[in-house]
Amino acid sequence: MSVVLITGASSGFGALTARALARAGHTVYASMRATTGRNAPAVAEAAAFARENDADLRTIELDVQSQESADAAVAAIVAAHGAIDVLVHNAGHMVTGPAEAFTPEEIAHVYDINVLGTQRVNRAALPGMRARRNGLVLWIGSSSSRGGTPPYLAPYFAAKAGMDALAVSYADELARFNIETSIVVPGSFTSGTNHFAHSGRPADEETVKAYEERYAGLMEQVSKRLAELAPPDADVAEVAAAVVRIVDTPHGKRPFRVHVDPADDGSEVVSVVADRIRTEFLTRIGLADLLHPHN
């Protein structure tokens, strides 16, 4: 069984995935900010789940916006277990509103969490994986990177696309260290997570009002239509189940990308082409060995 670190695991996909992996027999560290503050209830809930299910689910302080915090969390896990086998990049933050209303600093904040946060955790965890010549880096992406993209979500969509591009490049660069990469691509689940409920808003209310004159109620319309697109049996827990299947697959045989998109926004169609082009291009330039992990 593996030692797993999951970022942003106080709620949503992260919390569900942490519980599913722990139930499957893995030692799971559900990381989050403010474990003794606003996320103290999430810490208590995780501890109760561990007791009730005889599962090895633990919580740990990790703020993806701090390199010092990422370094400390990784060091603590390695000290306790000797290694981290699986790193799950899940931490993310959504914002909603007209793109123009966001200041550059507000958009940079979204990038800092969704993109730079993965880089901080990678810089903390990858040296150990490279030294051991083994590991799995699993990224929780978004169908918005390549599928249907409704308006008023531009900063979030751009950040998730940036994270996806980073994940693809990392896959090539980690392969010769025998570190595997998988990308899980959830669709627009409008229930079962707090993405929309906890989404940020732009501070420039004057610009928001200007857009409301032409786009009144747009975000509510988008949310309603996204919810209607999903089939009645759409279950956000399927994302966690997909992660468990990937982690439990033997090293070297894991899928590069898995879509979990009940609404079927077209992302999988585009990804199949993009990933095929990646395979063909690396082969053409004599780097086909980067398509799979190896020593």
pLDDT of residue 67: 98
Q: How far apart are CA 179 and CA 47, in angstroms?
A: 31
pLDDT of residue 226: 72
CATH 3.40.50.720 is right for the domain spanning 3-291: yes
Asked if 17 contacts 243 with a C-beta cutoff of 8 angstroms, the reply is yes
Q: Please state the rounded mean pLDDT for residues 9-13.
A: 94
Confidence band for 196, pLDDT divided at 50, 70 and 90: low
> Measuring CA to CA, which residue among 106, 180, 92 is closest to residue 141?
92
Per DSSP, helices labelled H in the chain are 12-23, 40-53, 67-81, 104-111, 117-132, 154-174, 205-215, 218-229, 237-248, 267-284
pLDDT of residue 263: 79
> Has residue 242 got a pLDDT over 70?
yes
pLDDT of residue 88: 98
Confidence band for 49, pLDDT divided at 50, 70 and 90: very high
Q: How far apart are CA 130 and CA 124, in angstroms?
A: 11
Q: Please state the rounded mean pLDDT for residues 226-238.
A: 76
Domain ranges across the chain: 3-291
pLDDT of residue 225: 76
pLDDT of residue 236: 87
User: At residue 244, what is the residue type?
Assistant: V
Q: Is 211 one of the annotated active-site residues of the chain? A: no
Q: How far apart are CA 144 and CA 27, in angstroms?
A: 31
Pick the catalytic residue: 111, 156, 170, 211? 156
